[in-house]
């Protein structure tokens, strides 16, 4: 991997460039006639859009995935989703490990930046565990899907099951079933439960996996409760994930309870199931069991918030991330209580973590505001639909209120850029574009108080 990288590129620039090159290569393959279902090449802008939404594991599509692409095209899309979920650096590192190539210091730095890790040690073992764990969970998910799809579709059900398992785990939200996502399976508990678990496992983050397994193994040895033995990162990620899922389910259940266009005519159990699925899928998964355009405004706003927060760090999900949200909220309450430091689970939050959380949220708002403004300027659509589209793109969710298929060429370009920025992260982009070297001058500008708030 290191031989093919420009020596003057930083690790962040290399990661951003690798995603861009993967998108361009994918778009070139999808633009071939062999990738199209009818043998006629799709317009390049749609091929580029599909490659971007696949690599960025977003799920917004301008042409139906199940009908517009041939088997070859669907295979290309599946590979792009898998690459986007694991990350280009992970795939490259995995290939090097399988070929018994040495992982050098620059390669380790790339992995460290790609997964936002705090150490360079144990990188080879980490990559092996990530790839093995990913394929294992996707394989189990595919087998469980087959119990429904094979009886319904025959041998084609195997391919559908594999595609859906990878898409769900990678939080891509793309399927090859129909043009209404999983709405036909809103009452099917197997499809709902398997999809929910794949989304959560993919979005919770790889670090939490290994931490939870390690804590579980130490329960008998140290006689500690599993949760108490977790790191602060895992405690925050699991707690916020659980709270958001429960609060989101309760809110959507209440706001949609009497809505005949969504869950109003369902049984109580099916209402709870649909509300739970909506709450989970907004955490950047993109599958839908109820039409998003039929949601009440209140449910749509709740979904916007859940999409904006997204999943957890070092996983397949997007958004500002659960840990970022927790740090920001905790810091805000600490300031209101005139405390000098923010605390969570009896641990002090480092100042640099608070500063990074503020930077991430600020840049996310800037991207969302700009994308929403530009998209509103180039298409004539309801403001809520536009906001839903841009938040879904920036947070790499993939849910839409039937707006994606109506986008003109400028709208498609805006969403493509928004999806890319959402996948690589606004902070990574700023770091990559910053070519100024940091200087450690001992002379600092004078400090002066200002009024805030």
What tens digit of pLDDT does each residue of 292-337 get? 999 999 999 999 999 999 988 877 788 889 999 999 999 988 888 8
Residue 158 has pLDDT above 90, yes or no: yes
% helix, strand, coil for the chain, step of 5: 65, 0, 30
3-state secondary structure of 344: strand
Identify the DSSP state of 228. G
The residue with greater pLDDT, 15 or 351, is 351
At 108-117, the pLDDT tens digits run 655 555 555 5
Please name which of 380, 403, 405 lies closest in space to residue 390, comparing C-alpha atoms.
Answer: 403
CA angle 275, 279, 284 (to 5 degrees): 145
Mean pLDDT score of the chain, rounded to an integer? 85
pLDDT at 308: 94
- What confidence tier does 25 reach under pLDDT thresholds 50, 70, 90? very high
| Burial class, 132, CB count within 10 angstroms (exposed 0-12 / middle 13-18 / buried 19+) | exposed
| Beta bridge partners of residue 343, listed in sequence order | 348
pLDDT at 3: 45
Which residues are CB-neighbours of 153 under 8 A, at least 6 positions away? 160
Which residues are CB-neighbours of 321 under 8 A, at least 6 positions away? 309, 310, 311, 312, 313, 360
Calculate what percentage of the chain has a pLDDT beyond 90.
53
Residue 213 has pLDDT above 80, yes or no: no
């Amino acid at each position: 991997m290191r031989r093919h990288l420009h020596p003057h590129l930083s690790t962040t620039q290399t990661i951003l460039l690798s995603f861009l090159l993967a998108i361009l290569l994918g778009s070139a393959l999808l633009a071939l006639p062999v990738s199209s279902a009818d043998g006629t090449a799709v317009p390049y802008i749609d091929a580029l859009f599909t490659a971007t939404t696949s690599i960025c594991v977003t799920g917004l599509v301008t042409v139906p995935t199940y009908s517009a692409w041939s088997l070859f095209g669907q295979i290309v899309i599946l590979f792009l989703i898998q690459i986007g979920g694991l990350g280009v650096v992970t795939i490259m590192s995995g290939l090097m490990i399988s070929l018994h190539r040495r992982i050098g210091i620059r390669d380790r730095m790339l992995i460290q930046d790609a997964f936002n890790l705090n150490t360079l040690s144990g990188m080879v073992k980490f990559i092996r565990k990530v790839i093995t764990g990913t394929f294992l969970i996707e394989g189990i998910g595919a087998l469980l899907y087959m119990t429904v799809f094979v009886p319904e579709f025959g041998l084609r059900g195997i391919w559908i099951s594999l595609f859906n398992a990878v898409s769900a785990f990678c939080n891509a939200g793309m399927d090859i079933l129909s043009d209404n996502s999983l709405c036909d399976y809103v009452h099917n508990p197997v499809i709902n439960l398997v999809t929910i678990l794949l989304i959560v496992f993919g979005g919770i983050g790889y670090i939490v996996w290994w931490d939870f397994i390690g804590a579980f193994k130490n329960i008998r040895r140290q006689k500690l409760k599993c949760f108490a033995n977790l790191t602060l990162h895992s405690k925050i990620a699991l707690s916020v994930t659980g709270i958001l899922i429960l609060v989101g389910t309760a809110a959507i259940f209440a706001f949609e309870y009497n809505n005949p266009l969504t869950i109003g005519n369902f049984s109580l159990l099916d209402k709870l199931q649909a509300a739970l699925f909506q709450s989970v899928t907004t955490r950047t998964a993109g599958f839908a069991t109820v039409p998003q355009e039929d949601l009440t405004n209140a449910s749509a706003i709740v979904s916007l918030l859940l999409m904006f927060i997204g999943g957890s760090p070092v996983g397949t999900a997007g958004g500002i991330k659960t840990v970022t949200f927790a740090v920001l909220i905790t810091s805000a309450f600490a300031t209101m209580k005139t405390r000098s430091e923010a605390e969570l689970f009896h641990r002090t939050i480092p100042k640099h973590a608070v500063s990074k959380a503020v930077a991430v949220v600020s840049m996310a708002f800037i991207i969302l505001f700009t994308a929403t403004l530009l998209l509103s300027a180039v298409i004539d659509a309801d403001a809520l639909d536009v906001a839903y589209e841009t938040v879904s793109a920036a947070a790499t969710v993939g849910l839409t209120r039937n707006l994606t298929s109506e986008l003109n060429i400028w709208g498609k370009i805006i969403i493509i850029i928004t999806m890319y920025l959402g996948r690589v992260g606004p902070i990574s982009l700023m770091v990559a574009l910053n070519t100024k070297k940091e200087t450690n001058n001992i002379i600092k500008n004078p400090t002066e108080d200002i009024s805030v708030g």
